[in-house]
Amino acid sequence: MKEEVLNKLVNSVLSYDPEAAVKAAEEALQKGIDPVEAIEEGLAKGVRIVGERFGAGEAFLTELVIAAEAMKQAIKVLEPAILKSAREKKTLGKVLIGTVEGDIHDIGKNIVSTLLMVAGFEVIDLGVDVPAEKFVEKVKEVKPEIVGMSALMTTTMAKMADVIEALKREGLREKVKIIIGGAPTSKKWAEEIGADGHGGDAIEAVEIAKKLVKAF
């Protein structure tokens, strides 16, 4: 029964059908399926497949956008249950997250944000196309334990290094741990720019966040 609902979630994304995604999300809640599992094993799985198709030239950008919208609409249905679960847990720390300047992709970032909330983190999401100055300003304001940066293009991933340098100039680098992620990034790139960790996917990013926050 659970597999059937998870498959419905996957297929709603693969068929670019936000309405079907919402219905499948409602069914998942009705049947007591963990909302995190509904996202990771259903919606996110579908979006990853569409992303792979897009990368291979088998899907258009418009299809990728609609697939992401289907997931977004379904997450709205699941979010109350996710937030309730997060409130019941002790806050592990604050995570300031955003997609770097010049990049407007937010699919991966949104999945990471949701799973961080479920894990018990307080998440401050700066959105997309975030300049280094905005990261610095918000670090000063909210004093997070972790800064998370996402980039989906090789042309924008260099902006991650700019954010780290800006934090250094302001004397803030030693006060936060930095995690990066996104398709063109790697553990090697994280080391090169002086980040503390690299999340290959949303689940790994959350596990790294949990480890890093213990360092405080």
CATH number at residue 197: 3.40.50.280
Sheet order of strands, 93-99 included? 121-125, 93-99, 146-150, 177-181, 197-199
Sign of CA dihedral 74, 83, 44, 178: positive
Range of the domain at 41: 2-87
pTM (2 d.p.): 0.72
> What residues does 98 pair with on adjacent strands?
149
Q: Rounded distance, CA 209 to CA 144, Å?
A: 12
Instruction: State the amino acid at position 74 in one-letter form.
Output: A
What's the burial of 201, exposed, middle or buried (CB within 10 Å: 0-12/13-18/19+)?
Answer: middle
Task: Using the predicted structure, report yes or no on whether residue 22 has a pLDDT greater than 90.
Answer: yes
- Which CATH number belongs to the domain containing residue 37 in this structure? 1.10.1240.10
DSSP state of 190: H
**pLDDT tens, position by position, 158-193:** 999 999 999 999 999 999 999 999 989 999 999 999
Q: Is the domain of 32 the same as that of 68?
A: yes
Instruction: State the amino acid at position 97 in one-letter form.
Output: I
